[in-house]
Structure 1
């Protein structure tokens, strides 16, 4: 056979892709690499690719290496697995990962909506989604920075749950949890606010301050989520505990059970930190978001009696490193770069403006207005 007469690359329609085919040219979405060249397609990767391409209305054929040309040649090509993530890559920026957030948010919304009709099947898809989220955190920097800069906007449920699951996974990883624990933690975090789908929409979406009776209604969501998921045999007890207890506080001031200290499952303690940070850092119908620095300060404040102190310290120490090197807009309209964040003064970082170094803790009338790209 004359190999020179056989094309090395051939176009394949998306619906004709098969496991084992090897991508010959980068697959890009919004000018960002989704799958690199030389990656062998798996069934799961093809399924994920189809969903994303459908979301972005892309119908172009995918270029693969021609099996006829290479079938008798001994070549080794990388396979998609946890050790080599081919989705979110190290060189992607904050905006470049936004399409992944949007896709996960859309999928989670569909799964939550349909779970009443086929719970056993849907819960398997939700678990798969939580695994996909973990796999996309092989390069966490652009993902975490996206959450810090943008929060979940006005989406208090689906995007919020995606963000909380990512933050929970990162906290668990920083705490040294095992792989199996991280899987269960992320699974629980994805489901932590599912109970809100069982609440009255008019109360949930109310744009003014809630009345005491309305707030009591909102406080039912951990129990509603727990009771629903408990009926599904495949949902582990640890996952259920995270759902039920994520609003409990160490001093007993939380809800729904007013548990204290060691009575609260560690998954719930971790999800609580992620939940509080994400909520403060996002716009809501009834309140404007606060700055990411204020969000850190709140976590630190609540670590003194309400949230687990050690978990909070680990969270702040690690996530603050993602702030370093980022640009900030000052109230003076100057743009600076964060050089260092002091745990004892989280809202006043050391910054540089051109060749000038400014310690905001020692500078009156100058403060950070917001983080910027």
Structure 2
């Protein structure tokens, strides 16, 4: 567990130290976000920008690596438990049973237990993705990502809990859609696409009469495919007519869908997803929600192994907060700045 903060000279920082605050240069440009794990490349860059001292979290004890491994194990345990319960939950529904909201609460509490371990969550979600279990893992992943976004937005605890539940339930309406359509590898016909687009309405109808369910959860499920520019469904809502729960889930849903293999589409790297959000998707998603997501999540890919489209593999040593599409990748003794060669790109995070 990280406890307390300490201000030390950058020259005294070690690889593995964790920043306790955002770091800006003299012009106000964000260089590194809070919770970034220091490495030698980042240390060198901070010194080059004239950053002489930084605030770090002070580890409570000497066994930092053991504590980090323990956190990851906890997240993985809770993740697998959540997936297991989701399987049970959806199996009951598909068999004609009623929705057990007690199971939804159990899953959301399991997820909420690890809210203060975003680094381990990001690593876990990157590694534990299996296309043959997409139906189950996607619900859980969206709940995890939605929780992190709510945390970064500093929402009240009650809203965070609701966002987790809405994330878990956002695609429940797909249980009313045939597997032939859901798993079709070819392009959907217009008639099939119309059926798919009914799933958010189906989901809302399935849960609206559950005793004790909040309006926020209902809105999140119903509106998670609405878009800020009015191009979404089912109501073609826009702007402030879309609830915050739905705005959060929309980002989490699309990000996870893009970065997971599905039966009809191969995944893309997180960086290609970031590119979509910042280009074609910039008008579709709430700018504040998206901005918080793109500020915080990318930093957790620093230290991960990446495979480039030229077949080479290396370690991501830095992701500029102002340009998250282009990481710095170390291959051997060379540092590749992907913003300098747009023909190169990360195609996979190796885990």
Shorter-chain TM-score bucket reads: 0.7 to 0.9
CA–CA distance in 2 between the matches of 1:137 and 1:153? 25
Give runs of aligned pairs for residues 1-373 of structure 1, distance below 5 A: 90-92=68-70, 97-98=75-76, 100-115=78-93, 116-119=96-99, 122-151=100-129, 153-343=131-321, 345-363=323-341, 365-373=343-351
- Corresponding position of 2:39: none
Contact 1:152 / 1:278 at 8 angstroms: preserved in 2?
no
CA–CA distance in 2 between the matches of 1:311 and 1:141? 19
1:352 counterpart SS class? strand
Cα RMSD after superposing both structures:
2.2
Contact 1:168 / 1:271 at 8 angstroms: preserved in 2?
yes
- TM-score of the aligned structures, taking structure 2 as reference length: 0.75
CA–CA distance in 1 between the matches of 2:265 and 2:231? 22
- Structure with more relative contact order (C-alpha pairs < 8 Å, separation 6 or more): 2
1:92-122 Cα shifts (integer Å, max 9, x gaps):
4868854543332221121123245343xx1
Gaps of 5+ in 1: 1-88
Contact 1:152 / 1:160 at 8 angstroms: preserved in 2?
no
1:297 counterpart SS class? helix
CA–CA distance in 2 between the matches of 1:90 and 1:263? 42
Gaps of 5+ in 2: 1-66
Moved over 6 A (4+): 93-96
CA–CA distance in 1 between the matches of 2:267 and 2:283? 24
1:145-191 Cα shifts (integer Å, max 9, x gaps):
22234545343422100000000000000001011111111111111
1:2-45 Cα shifts (integer Å, max 9, x gaps):
xxxxxxxxxxxxxxxxxxxxxxxxxxxxxxxxxxxxxxxxxxxx
Q: Tell which structure's C-alpha radius of gyration is larger.
A: 1
What is the total number of aligned residue pairs between the two structures? Answer: 283
- TM-score of the aligned structures, taking structure 1 as reference length: 0.70
